[in-house]
């Protein structure tokens, strides 16, 4: 029994550090976080000074995640544990039918609450990110709102005449051109000038495109 105690204490320390790492990453994603870490295999032996890390720190925390643990003073040994992460929070859901091209109003949307790890990628999390945007397709009540369901209001339309503003150190030029693409505020679009030169710029207003030099 005396020999087993250090191993049990070491396992607890490893699990606590893994849970702490996952909680630090997940606590900002929602209102409630539930983490369960699968115990390490006994055949792997003890892990001295366990230091957990995420193999892919940029990846979203989904329901199942693999966590690496470096062991030993020189951290040369590495093992991997499996954990489940459940983040409960709020996200945007369609409250009533919205037609394609219709601007979204606050009354068209609602905040739903659920397990964020089960949501489709690109889910819109805040009402302010959707209100005023235009629907790119018909939206049904109860539908989870995703980023590709909306777009900023079009300020430049394809084949329209637009004002091209080019600015640089000590100069500013304005020319007229034809829009090749359409876009909203801040979107990148291409413009064809009368001499057939094609420039790429940023939409800065209705019928206005800015090109930096």
DSSP codes of every residue in 62-89: -SEEEEEEEESTT--EEEEEEEEEEEEE
Q: Is the pLDDT of residue 134 over 60?
A: yes
CB-count burial class (<10 Å; 0-12, 13-18, 19+) for 155: buried
Average pLDDT over residues 140-159: 95
Rounded alpha-carbon distances, angstroms, from residue 104 to 38, 107, 133, 135, 156: 44, 8, 6, 7, 20
pLDDT in tens, 54-113: 998 877 776 788 999 999 877 778 999 999 999 999 999 999 999 999 999 999 999 999
Q: What is the pLDDT of residue 170?
A: 76
pLDDT in tens, 5-51: 446 788 889 999 999 999 998 888 888 999 999 887 766 678 888 99
Return d(Cα 176, Cα 58) in angstroms, integer: 43
Count of Cβ atoms closer than 10 Å to residue 113 Cβ: 13
Inter-residue contact 92 to 126 (CB < 8 Å): yes
At residue 153, φ and ψ (nearest 5 deg) are -55, 135
Q: What is the pLDDT of residue 2?
A: 43
DSSP 3-state assignment of 42? helix
CATH of segment(s) 88-151: 3.90.1210.10
Question: If you search the block for the tokens 């366990």, which residue do you land on?
Answer: 50
**Beta strand 188-192 with 134-135: parallel, antiparallel or unpaired?**
unpaired
Q: What is the pLDDT of residue 59?
A: 74
pLDDT in tens, 197-206: 999 999 999 9
At residue 212, φ and ψ (nearest 5 deg) are -95, 145
Return d(Cα 76, Cα 73) in angstroms, integer: 8
Domain ranges of the chain: 4-86, 88-151, 161-212
Q: What is the pLDDT of residue 42?
A: 65
Which pTM was predicted? 0.64
Name the band, by pLDDT with cuts 50, 70 and 90, for residue 1.
Answer: very low
Q: What is the pLDDT of residue 51?
A: 93
Domain 161-212, CATH number (from 2.30.30.760, 3.40.718.10, 3.40.50.2300, 2.60.120.260): 2.30.30.760
Q: What torsion, rounded to 10 degrees, do the Cα atoms 103, 150, 28, 39 define?
A: 140
């Amino acid at each position: 029994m005396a020999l087993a105690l250090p191993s049990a204490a070491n396992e607890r320390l490893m699990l606590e550090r893994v849970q702490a790492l996952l909680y630090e990453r997940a606590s900002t994603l929602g209102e409630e976080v539930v983490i369960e870490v699968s115990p390490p295999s006994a055949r792997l032996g003890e892990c001295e000074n366990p230091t957990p890390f995420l193999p892919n720190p940029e990846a979203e925390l989904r329901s199942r995640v693999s966590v690496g643990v470096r062991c030993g003073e020189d951290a040369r040994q590495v093992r991997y544990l499996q954990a489940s992460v459940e983040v409960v929070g709020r996200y945007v859901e369609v409250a009533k039918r919205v037609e394609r091209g219709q601007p979204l109003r606050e009354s068209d949307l609602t905040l739903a609450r659920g397990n964020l790890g089960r949501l489709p990628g690109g889910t819109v999390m805040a009402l302010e990110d959707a209100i005023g945007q235009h629907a790119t397709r018909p939206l049904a009540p109860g539908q989870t709102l995703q980023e590709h369901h909306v777009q900023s209001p079009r300020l430049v339309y394809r084949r329209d005449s637009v004002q091209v503003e080019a600015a640089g150190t000590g100069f500013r030029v304005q020319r007229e051109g034809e829009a090749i693409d359409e876009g909203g505020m801040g979107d990148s679009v291409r413009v064809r000038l009368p001499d057939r030169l094609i420039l790429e710029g940023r939409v800065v207003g209705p019928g206005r495109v800015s090109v930096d030099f």
